[in-house]
Amino acid sequence: METSNTEVVSDLAPDTGKPLTHKVRFALGFALVSLLGALPATMGSGVLLPQVFTSIHGISAEGALATMNSVSVFFALVANIVFGALSDVSKFKIGKRTPWIISGGVISAVGYFITSQSKTLLWIVVGWCIVEIGINALIAPAVAVLSDRIPENVRGTYSAVYGAATMIGVQLGIFVGGFFLTKLNTGLVLGTIIFLFSGIITVLVWPREQSAENNTKATSVSEILKSFIPPTKNARDFYLALLGRLTFTLGCFMIQGFQLLILEKYIHLSVKGAGTAMQIMSIITMITTLLASALSGPLSDFLHRRKLIVVIACVIIAIGMLVPWIMPTTMGMYIYALLAGLGNGCYMSVDQALNVDVLPNPQEAGKDLGILNLSNTLGQIIAPILTTAFIGMTGGYKGVFPVAIIFLLVGTVFIMMIRKVK
């Protein structure tokens, strides 16, 4: 049954039972953890490593990227659930989420450094697997803070901050990475440094988390192991949200994850020209993402609507993908960047709020949000595999665009089937 229009939406913070204080610090913390995670990750997987793979003899860049992602997916999937669940049951004096957020950034930095020093596909894959473990250790408990500490009546706004920062981080990763296409090692070292301080900076900005010494969520090994089990009761909407997010991510990253190679091999630009075009696209997308997020998040809270905004977002991005499919030029890619920014800004502004709203049990927010975030991770991993497969079948990127559009539109069907959230 859908939420009634007369249902009272809480304006109290779940952890304190009082009105939210330190609103700016919370917003800044959500922005930082999202941006500082997305920037180096995208700079590596979206720009620097594809270029590294073009210099390794005997492999295709697309095949190497798909191999790296398909292997690292196992570590990403396990890490997201494990670190989310562990943060639910932790009993640290400094809080149940804080230690994992800090350690996630450090682990990512270690993996990134290994990747930066590697010269073979094998060791690049090893390094990136560690990066994926760290990213999920950072993000899973950080996203759970939205459920732990943010009142229901402003979750859309804070979700918008988190989502916009993610998109800005992705575009900054592309923009910054473009400067290092001829200095790959320097760029990878920079990514290592950003990851190292990502979790530390976030927990310093956020108001201090309450002690978890009295956390009664789990008291034995068997109960901790049970906490890893996915939800089974009242979970219909939860799994619809998961499927909707998975198909959305698949559609987006079939194009977004291959922008450099699309510009070089589909638009036929030089390495330098492709780098410049990517930087321009990132600026366009950042501006439109900020505009869309600034409007969509507060509007979602005001109207108490999530699904409609998600559907509109998917349609906008799908239209954007039509443009370079019909018009394979640099201008076509710029128009795609503009519409993708608008759509992603709308989508990401309500995505995490919608995920929190469909949780079967808020007491298991870390684990369950970790499972929902798997759809994002899994989508980014599967997308390169599908893209490579369709390139092989069609002989180029031309056939990838309509398939990506179909995934986006299928995602809207899953989201509209959700009953608990309007």
pTM: 0.72
> pLDDT averaged over the chain?
84
If 0-12 CB within 10 Å is exposed, 13-18 middle and 19+ buried, where does residue 93 land?
exposed
* pLDDT value of position 83: 86
Measure Cα distances from 270 to 216, 329, 416 in Å. Answer: 59, 13, 42
Least confident range from 11-15, 19-23, 77-81: namely 11-15
* pLDDT value of position 3: 42
* pLDDT value of position 390: 86
pLDDT-above-90 percentage for the chain: 31
Residue 306 scores a pLDDT above 50: yes
Question: How many other β-carbons are positioned within 10 Å of the β-carbon of residue 43?
Answer: 28
The whole-number average pLDDT for the span 89-112 is: 91
**What tens digit of pLDDT does each residue of 252-269 get?**
989 987 888 899 889 988
**What tens digit of pLDDT does each residue of 215-242 get?**
766 555 566 566 567 777 777 888 888 8
- Nearest CA among 343, 342, 373, 344 for reference residue 356: 373
Two structure tokens written together for 7: 């249902």
DSSP class of residue 19? B
Residue 6 scores a pLDDT above 60: no
More confident residue, 56 or 280: 280
**What tens digit of pLDDT does each residue of 314-345 get?**
999 999 999 999 999 999 999 999 999 999 88
The whole-number average pLDDT for the span 387-399 is: 85
Alpha-carbon gap, residue 335 to 49, rounded angstroms: 26
* Cβ atoms of 109 and 138 closer than 8 Å: no
* Cβ atoms of 35 and 336 closer than 8 Å: no
Residue 199 scores a pLDDT above 90: yes
- CATH of segment(s) 23-416: 1.20.1250.20
Given pLDDT bands bounded at 50, 70 and 90, which one contains residue 4? Answer: very low
